[in-house]
Amino acid sequence: MRYYIIAGEASGDLHGANLMKSLFKFDTDAEIRFWGGDLMKKTGGDLVVHYKERAFMGFAEVFTNLRKILNFISFCKKDIRKFNPNIIIFIDNSGFNLRIAKWAKKNEFKTNYYISPQVWASRAGRIKTIKRDIDKMFVILPFEKSFYKKYNYDVEFVGHPLIDGIDNRKLVNESEFRKEYDLGEKPIIALLPGSRKQEITKMLSVMLSLINDFSDYKFVIAGAPSQSFEFYRAFINESDASFISNKTYDLLSISYAALVTSGTATLEAALFKVPQVVCYKASNLSYQIAKRIITLEYISLVNLVMEKKVVSELIQDEFTYKNLKQELKLILDRKHREKLFLDYFDLEQRLGGAGASDKTAKLIISGATK
């Protein structure tokens, strides 16, 4: 069968690649054309547009790049029609994907959505269009199934694919890894400032400002695959921080603590059992708009899944040197860490265990043949 997959950002690329591996495994005749990134490209199929070309963050930036976004939407529709897939698979990236889904449904393409838009966080009115335009939704967070049920929409909880990605990775030799990147012997504090330029610009300088206060630790920046070292260089300056690109899992596996920009990375740190402080700061305009439409008590996925405060969150004006220093001291404390590890164990159980990608692929293939 022919599959057309549309993913955006680094996390979508990761989950898309794992899903593609499963589709190729269970459908040996699979033809896949996709919007994604380097991981999906390595898996096989034909890359149409890389997510780096359309990585727009925040309301202001989307508005200023509206013409470019509309051109991508127009091109995508033409490309789908030319490929004529048996099924279209949307992965997260709701702003773009829901527009394509509306058109696809009207043109009688089968539509599946893997990794739900965050309608539980804001703009629940989108559920009406999701029910209309998406034949089947596969969700990866346990509370999403009950959330959609309130709106009489039956979705499939398949578990979280991060568990597979972490379980199946090649284990790192800590001694060799430290030697390769000249990390010395101090306990490591990982800095995960996000993957987009706007995020990194807002987050990294404040994170790095703590280095002199925690001289017994080694600060290491996890560079995103979407950005070059030259971009990070301006923030590092003369600091004692190390920089490692595209090795986030290896870094987390040997880290003692982490400062993490809100997003998928908060779950990744938790699954690696790394105590963390969750941080987030956007432009004032984007934040003021978001504050008026987001109805959640928490922003981190760890706290949302656990339905309580497990990790500290420093959002917008609370994300300061003083507050970050205080919260980092807290997660370095032994008693606090012990409680956090117990919560992390419960979190992993709630996420549904291994096999999300295989389960989703089987359900997609089964649905496409009906």
SS3 track for 129-174: HHHHHCCEEEECCHHHHHHHHCCCCCCEECCCHHHHHHHCCCCCCH
Q: Are residues 228 and 111 in the same domain?
A: no
171 plus 300 within the same structural domain:
yes
Q: For residue 210, which of 246, 258, 141, 143 has the smallest C-alpha distance?
A: 258
The reply to whether 78 and 188 lie within a common domain is: no
Q: How far is CA 91 from CA 18, 282, 360, in A?
A: 12, 24, 12
**How much of the chain is in helix, strand and coil states, percent to nearest 5?**
50, 15, 30
Distance from C-alpha of 284 to C-alpha of 316, rounded to nearest angstrom: 8
Indicate whether 125 and 199 sit together in one domain: no
Same domain membership, residue 229 and residue 122? no
Predicted model pTM = 0.81
Looking at the structure of the chain, the number of domains it has is 2
* Joined tokens for residue 333: 């404390």
Q: Which domain holds residue 37?
A: 2-159+355-368
Are residues 145 and 7 part of one domain?
yes
Same domain, 20 and 151: yes
State the Cα–Cα distance between residues 70 and 68, nearest whole angstrom.
5
152 plus 181 within the same structural domain: no
322 lies in the same domain as 199: yes
| 3 state DSSP class of 17 | helix
Q: Which residues contact 332 (CB under 8 A, 6 or more apart)?
A: 256, 257, 275
Residues 176 and 133 in one domain: no
| CB-CB contact of 300 with 258 (8 Å) | no
Contacts of 326 (CB under 8 A, 6+ apart): none
pLDDT in tens, the chain (370 residues): 999 999 988 888 989 999 999 999 999 999 999 999 999 999 999 999 998 877 555 444 555 666 777 888 999 999 999 999 999 999 988 889 999 999 999 999 999 999 998 888 777 788 999 999 999 999 999 999 989 999 999 999 999 999 988 887 889 999 999 999 999 999 999 999 988 888 898 899 999 999 999 999 999 999 988 788 889 988 887 678 999 998 999 999 999 999 999 888 999 999 999 999 999 887 665 655 555 556 667 889 999 999 999 999 999 889 999 999 999 999 999 999 999 999 999 999 999 888 999 999 999 999 877 7
Angle at 136 (CA atoms; ends 45, 109), nearest 5 degrees? 60
| 281 and 264 in a common domain | yes
Pairing relationship of beta strands 257-261 and 276-280 according to DSSP bridges: parallel
Residues 46 and 191 in one domain: no
Q: What CATH number corresponds to the domain at position 126?
A: 3.40.50.2000
